[in-house]
């Protein structure tokens, strides 16, 4: 059987609740803003890729102090003539901290938002 709260008990309960609710939002640090960026995979039509280009691309970013996450592959969405030796449109995509966007651009990466027709999927 529950007992009704007295006036002082209600006040204490309300005060504790009012303090606990706002502090609960402080428990998790805000997520750092990230930006999806892309670079050419460097692959060509009619030429099989010798190696997976993603590890080397991630290593270049890491060497420059850019923390990349969520690596994935895609296509730039552009139409191109079918001609052996020309780019096949494959791209590499990663997420970087928004604060590192300038550094990523210096390394040849561009915001994925610049390619409105791009398709992105997991690498196979």
User: Does 105 have pLDDT greater than 50?
Assistant: yes
25-43 pLDDT per residue, tens: 445 556 789 999 999 999 9
51-85 pLDDT per residue, tens: 899 999 999 999 999 999 999 999 999 999 999 99
Query: What is the pLDDT, as a whole number, of residue 32?
Result: 81
pTM of this structure: 0.73
What does the block give as tokens for 112?
């994925």
Max CA distance (Å), the chain:
84
Query: What is the pLDDT, as a whole number, of residue 85?
Result: 94
Radius of gyration of the chain from its Cα atoms, rounded to whole angstroms: 25
Distance CA 120, CA 112 (A): 10
3-13 pLDDT per residue, tens: 555 554 554 44
What does the block give as tokens for 3?
């007992």
Query: What is the pLDDT, as a whole number, of residue 50?
Result: 80
Asked whether 37 and 112 are in contact (CB, 8 A), the reply is yes
Neighbours of 95 (CB within 10 A): 16
């Amino acid at each position: 059987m529950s007992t009704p709260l007295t006036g002082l008990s209600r006040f204490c309960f309300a005060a504790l609740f009012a303090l606990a609710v706002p502090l609960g939002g402080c428990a998790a640090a805000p997520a750092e803003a990230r930006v999806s960026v892309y670079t050419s995979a460097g692959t060509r039509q009619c030429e099989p890729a010798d190696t997976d280009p993603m590890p080397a691309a991630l290593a270049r970013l890491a060497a420059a102090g850019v923390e990349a996450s969520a690596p994935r592959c895609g296509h730039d969405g552009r139409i191109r003539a079918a001609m052996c030796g020309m780019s096949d449109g494959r791209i590499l995509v990663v997420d970087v901290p928004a604060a590192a966007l300038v550094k990523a651009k210096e390394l040849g990466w561009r915001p994925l938002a610049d390619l409105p027709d791009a398709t992105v999927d997991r690498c196979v």
